[in-house]
Amino acid sequence: MSNTVLEVERLDVEFPTYGQAPARAVRGLDLTIGEREIVGLVGESGSGKTALARAIMQLVPPPGRIAGGRVRFEGQDLSTLDEEQLRALRGRAMSMVIANPRSELNPLLTVGEQIGNVLKYHLGLKGKELRERVLEMLREVRIPDPERRYAAWPHELSGGMAQRVVMAIALICNPRLVISDDATSGLDVTVQAQVLELLKRLAERHRTAMLFITRDIGITAHFCDRVAIIYGGEIMEIASRDRFFANPMHPYSVLLLAAFSHNPKLRSYWLKEGEAASEAQPAETGCPFATRCVRVREHCRSVHPELRELEAGHLVRCHYPVERRA
Amino acid sequence: MTVLSWLGQRLLFVAPQLVGILFVSFLLVKLIPGDPAVLMLGPFATPDGLARLRAELGLDRTVVEQFLIYLGNVLQGDLGTSWQTTMPVTSDLAQRFPATLELVTLGLLVALAIGLPLGVAGARYKRGLLRTGADYYGLLAGALPDFWLGLVLIYVFYTMLGWAPAPLGRIDFAVIPPEPVTGALLIDSAIAGNWQAFRSAAGHLVLPVLTLGLINAGPILKMTQATTERMLDSDFSRYAELCGLPRKVVVRQALRNALPSVITIVSVLYGFLLGGAVLVEIVFSWGGAGQYAVQGVLNADLNPVLGFVLYSAVLSLFIYLIVDLLYFLIDPRTR
Amino acid sequence: MTLLDVKNLVQHFPIGRGKAVQAVNGVDFTVDAGETLALVGESGSGKTTIGRCVLGLIQPTGGSILFRGEPMGGRRTVRSPELRGRMQLVFQEPAESLDPRIVVGRTIGEPMAALGASRADREKAVLLAAQRVGLPERLLGSYPAELSMGLQQRVGIARAIVSRPELIVLDEPTSALDPSARAEIIDLLIRLQKELGTAYLFISHDLSTVRYLSHRVAVLYLGSIVEQGPAAELFAAPRHPYSVGLLASVLLPNPELRRESTIRLEGEIPSPIDLPPGCPLEGRCPLAIDRCRQMPPAEAVAPGHEVRCWRHEEVARMEKAVDYFERFQSEAERILTPAPEKREEEWAS
């Protein structure tokens, strides 16, 4: 990769739990995102994907904390920056698009004010210039009738419109990296498709790299350059999109794809027919996925697998990766 | 909906509300034991004289009839006469109600000046001396009775230090009070340009206002702190931080979202204190409306009581109207 | 055999000033015994309202609902006693549909209690239902908050099957769940249908689940069924522009498989208040013509496949008949079929 925007190195995020060892939401995670690259990160709830997003922004909600490792943004170790320097980065050089935007927007500020605030506090724009930039951005995210929407309140927006406003906020300072955390999950399917296409187009136009976090592996197939699968706070598999979908090697990746299959035999093999396997918690020792894996062996329960490069650019954290007949 | 049409709708309901409040208090007041006629004529009254006085006062009619007569009088601006002061209730209240209003308004302003910043600071810094201090203050203000604090302040600042004037009314006996315009001494003396009276009135206000302020800052502080904290923990504050807005701005936005709760508690305190400040009024011999009403209750002097209820009700409805108007301005979702 | 027959169902909710939310505007469909009909639509399409009407939870504004030929409804006596326990509901949010202060075993038994079953019968039925949904017996004494969402939904399903109903309305039963838990619940529902012969009215916006689970599909838009037909046929050859748009929005986990379409829907679903007469999609449809201001009739384009569009022949000409779900299956087969697992020694090399 020519230029990296983001390097996450052996990152640990912990949440203290009363009377027990802290819960490790993110465990020794490595991830690199190159310039203008869109990386899809697929994980289910509790996989640590949101903790990772917050840790990259250096805003893990307390009492959680970054317990180890580092995040480098454009070569700069974020742990060496003070709060004021971090603040200057957030929303300007690296920004976030979040889910459920109607509760994330301040109910007492108009759309124009909320978008404008970012410009005001990061770039010091004001007055007519600020208004023009905001209107231009509203047009860019394809909000119809931008003059009127400028003065609209968040509660007057539909889910899709609110999502576009949040995208406008995220992109208006031309960030180098946008992190999208489950951003389109609350939207209706046709609206989701529109919003995703728009987001991709905007990322291209603004030359922005993106970490696209989602529960829906289907989205990543159409939207991302690389795909990473996270489970138990660790990357299980990461590869370029085409390689990944042509030859997924981690049993968990295959399980996620099995949910789309209509073949009862294959489905019941991967999903363990009749069992609520998805209820199992990640294992503490050995492979975190061992408690759910249909192919688990003795070795998996005791030895923690490393992320190994099995093909060029295709890394898998599994002792016994899935192989297929040629 | 525009503000005006909404305001019109609200005002339509004011009249029936007032009649309702008046009717209920009329009934309640009638339940107070004690015959005004007996109290007025004293121990040597003849049964004949009593009967005549009762008929004169309309006490021999049914309660509903009495109420309708009273209501008719009220509509003509006549609230009856207090037999204790032998003055029309309207002129008594014209003198006393502003005294209470001045005291309560200034007291609550002081309470806000203490409670709001402390509450915000407490919400902003969840640990540390400031937060601990704010917590203890809230606890203490809730536990202390206001009249006791008043007595302590008098003891310290009048008896011991001699800084404060004697707690005997609203102005020095030696100072000629200004011509009443609003009834509030500070405003009236300022209008008259009578700075001697202004100083004296202000001096007399300091201790009772401080008493009310210090005590009522407690609930305001608690409410401000709790709501601001909740707003700072809310999704939109987190998002504002993720957008890199300065902490100062995030706190300001959270406070703005917390403001409706603060306004609510202030309006409730206001309505409550109109009558509730009576103990403080007594301690400082304030001669306010609360004191007047309590005297009325104790001596079966009904007109002052009803007059006080009516004034308080009108004022409370007015305050709630303003509160709703403020919500309307602050929160677009109510429009 | 027809189990449920819904004719010209209308549901309007007045909101004052003579206006009404026109949630359902004349909907016809049937559900046969043992089959699954999916009601597909986005928010505001009226699919949840239809489910509520069918269950008798709300009184329809107009139309008729026949269950086994007998009319449902009538004022107040929304559901006749004979129908009790023969229809059940599974909710979208499992946590909100379970009483947090009652252990789940009792929750599951509640329909039986309402039917007046004896204590012994009730316990037996609860155990059987729990077993059927794969809920371990030891969890019957837990409170909902102690269970994960997937298990909570199993409780919801157990409660629905405990009275052995003939029809279950599934109101987005999996949309709150994670993908792998979702797949497990779907498999469970399919197995239960095989074992018990229950018919499902499956309300969903998740098309890949719908394609897998349903025999027939009805596509709803703003309170009207714009198209309905056998699942395989409708997914392969959608004839209504809205169905096309909906299918083109589906993102299957394969970069090559997405319905390429020249028909693109613009904008968002308008509010269902004061709908203009005519085709509900008229304002968003790239094929709209003047005639679309009148409501098109339901036209049969194949046996059991009906569409309400003046221009459905145009759509048929423009769209390739490809079932991407079906095409995905061969790819899925390749990916999901593992080579024989190697023995431990072979891995070492």
A-contacting residues of C 139-158, CB under 8 Å?
A: 148, 150-151, 154
DSSP A320: S
**Confidence band, pLDDT 50/70/90 cuts, at residue A209:** very high
Q: Express each pLDDT in A270-303 by its tens digit.
A: 887 666 677 778 888 899 999 889 888 899 999 9
Whole-number mean pLDDT of chain A?
90
Alpha helices in B125-153 (DSSP H): 129-143, 146-153
- Please indicate if any CB of chain C lies within 8 Å of the CB of A197: no
Task: Output the DSSP codes for B34-102.
Answer: --HHHHHH-TT--HHHHHHHHHHHTTTS-HHHHHHHHHHHHHTT---B-TTT-SBHHHHHHHHHHHHHH
What tokens does B286 get? 């304030």
> For chain B, what is the radius of gyration of the CA atoms?
24
Q: Token pair for residue C273?
A: 């208040």
Give the model's confidence band at C348: pLDDT under 50 very low, under 70 low, under 90 confident, else very high.
low
CA–CA distance, A101 with A191 (Å, rounded to integer): 14
- pLDDT at A1 (0 to 100): 45
What's the CA gap between A255 and C255, in Å, rounded? Answer: 18
Q: Testing the interface with A: which of C191, C260, C329, C335 to mutate, by most A Cβ within 10 A?
A: C335
Alpha-carbon distance of C92 to C177, in angstroms, equals: 9
Touching subunits of B (3+ CB pairs, under 8 Å) are: A
User: Which pLDDT does position C43 carry in this prediction?
Assistant: 83
Distance CA C97, CA B292 (A): 57
- Nearest CB partner across the interface for B243, out of A107, A153, A169: A169
Q: Cβ–Cβ of B242/A98 closer than 8 Å?
A: yes
**C206, C199, C229: which is closest to C306 by C-alpha?**
C229
Give the residue-averaged pLDDT of A254-262.
90
With a cut of 70, say whether residue C80 has pLDDT above it. no
Report whether the peptide linkage leading into residue B88 is cis, meaning its omega lies within 30 degrees of zero. no
Cβ–Cβ below 8 Å for A103 and B236 = yes
pTM of model > 0.95: no
**Which helix (H) or strand (E) segment is B106 a member of?**
helix B89-124
| Segment A223-236 mean pLDDT | 94
pLDDT digits (tens, 9 = 90+) for C118-164: 899 999 999 999 999 999 999 999 999 999 888 999 999 999 999 99
To the nearest whole Å, the CA of B239 is away from the closest chain A CA by 6
Pairing of strands A177-181, A209-214: parallel
Chains C and B touch (3+ CB pairs under 8 A): no
Q: How far apart are CA B99 and CA B232, in angstroms?
A: 40
Residue A158 above 90 pLDDT? no
Q: Which residues in chain B come in under a pLDDT of 70? A: 1-2
Cβ contact (<8 Å) for B244 and A100?
A: no
To the nearest 10°, report the CA torsion of A41, A47, A48, A50.
60
Q: Chain A 145-174, CB below 8 Å of chain C: which residues?
A: 158-161
How does strand C70-71 pair with strand A94-98? unpaired
| Torsion sign over Cα C98, C102, C106, C112 | negative
CB atoms closer than 10 angstroms to residue A317: 23
Distance CA C113, CA C121 (A): 10
Mean pLDDT across chain C: 88
- Written as six digits, the tokens of C191 are 């197995």
Q: Which residues on A lie below 8 Å from B241 (Cβ)?
A: 59, 90
Which amino acid appears at position B128 of this protein?
G
The most confident of A216-220, A275-279, C328-332, by mean pLDDT: A216-220
Handedness of CA B182, B183, B186, B191 (dihedral sign): positive
Residues of A in contact with C254 (CB under 8 A): 221, 245
Q: Around Cβ A213, how many Cβ atoms within 10 Å?
A: 26
Q: Encoding tokens for residue B284? A: 């400082």
Question: DSSP 3-state assignment of C306?
Answer: strand
For residue C341, the tally of other CB atoms under 10 A from its CB is 13
Enclosing H/E stretch for C220:
strand C216-221
Where does residue A109 fall: left (phi above 0), alpha (psi -120 to 50 degrees), or beta otherwise?
Answer: beta
* C52 touches C58 (CB < 8 A): yes
C150 and A276 in contact by Cβ < 8 A? yes
Both tokens of C182, joined, read 């979702």
d(CA B266, CA B62): 40
**Are residues B243 and A117, on separate chains, in Cβ contact within 8 Å?**
yes
What number is the average pLDDT over the span A202-223?
A: 92
Burial of A20 (0-12, 13-18, 19+ CB in 10 A): exposed
pLDDT tens, position by position, B171-198: 888 888 888 888 888 888 888 888 888 9
- pLDDT exceeds 50 at position C76: no
Which residues, numbered 92 to 121 in chain A, qualify as contacts with chain C under a Cβ-Cβ cut-off of 8 Å? Answer: none
Among A59, A105, A106, A176, the strongest candidate for a mutation testing the B interface, having the largest count of B CBs within 10 A, is A106
- Find where tokens 């297929």 sit: A324
Looking at the partner chain, which of C187, C188, C208 has a beta carbon nearest the beta carbon of A260? C208
Rounded CA-CA distance A257/C336 in Å is: 8
| Chain B residues with at least one Cβ partner in A under 8 Å | 234-236, 238-247, 249, 253, 256-257, 330-333
Q: Is A235 helix (H, G, I), strand (E, B) or coil?
A: strand
Give the per-residue pLDDT at B296.
86
Q: How far is the C-alpha of C4 from the C-alpha of B181, rounded, in Å?
A: 79
Tell me: pLDDT of C78 over 60.
Answer: no
Output the CA angle A94-A96-A97, nearest 5 degrees: 145
- Does C111 touch chain A if contact means CB atoms closer than 8 Å? no
Task: Count contacts between A and B (CB, < 8 Å).
Answer: 71
Collect all residues of chain B within an 8 Å Cβ-Cβ radius of residue A90.
Answer: 241-244
A267 and chain C in contact, CB less than 8 A: yes
Who has greater pLDDT, B40 or C222?
A: C222
Q: In the beta sheet, which residues pair with residue C184?
A: none
Q: Which long-range contacts (CB under 8 A, 24 or more apart) does A83-88 make?
A: A86/A58, A87/B244, A87/B245, A87/B246, A87/B247, A88/A122, A88/B244
Q: Using alpha carbons, list the distances in angstroms from residue A308 to A1, A305, A319, B67, C297.
A: 18, 8, 9, 91, 60
Question: Which chain A residues have a beta carbon less than 8 Å from that of C249?
Answer: 189-190, 192-193
**Closest residue of chain A to B235, computed from CA coordinates:** A104
The first and second tokens of residue B150, run together, are: 């008043």
Give the separation between CA C134 and CA C188, rounded to whole angstroms. 8
Q: What is the spatial distance between Cα A133 and Cα A83, in angstroms, rounded to a whole number?
A: 28
Q: Is A222 close to C329, i.e. CB distance below 8 A?
A: no
| Residues on chain C touching A271 (C-beta within 8 angstroms) | 180, 183-184, 187
DSSP-assigned letters across all residues of A32-83: EEETT-EEEEE--TTSSHHHHHHHHTT-PPTT-EEEEEEEEETTEEGGGS-H
Say if CB C288 and CB C314 are below 8 A apart: no
Q: Please identify among residues 75-104 of chain C the ones whose CB lies closer than 8 Å to any CB of chain A.
A: none
Q: Element (H or E) spanning C156, and its range?
A: helix C149-161
Beta bridge partners of A240: A226
| Angle (nearest 5°) at CA C210 between C208 and C7 | 150
B291 HSE (CA, 13 A, CB side): 19
Which residues in chain A are contacts of B246 at CB distance < 8 A?
87, 121
Helix axes B3-31, B63-75, angle to 10 degrees: 140
- At residue C15, the 3 state secondary structure works out as strand
Predicted confidence (pLDDT) at residue C75 exceeds the cutoff of 60? no
pLDDT interval class at A215 (50, 70, 90): very high
Residues C18-49, buried b or exposed e (16+ Cβ, 10 A)?
eebbbbbbebebebeebbbbbbbbbebbbbbb
pLDDT higher for B20 or A325?
B20
Residues C101-105: contacts with CB under 8 Å, at least 24 apart: C101/C143, C102/C143, C103/C140, C103/C141, C103/C142, C103/C143, C104/C135, C104/C139, C104/C140, C104/C141, C104/C142, C104/C143, C104/C144, C104/C147, C104/C155, C105/C130, C105/C140, C105/C141
Task: Give bridge partners of residue A315 from the DSSP assignment.
Answer: A238, A309
Residues whose CB is less than 8 angstroms from the CB of residue C200 and which lie 6 or more positions away in sequence, other chains included: C35, C36, C37, C167, C168, C169, C170, C189, C193, C213, C214
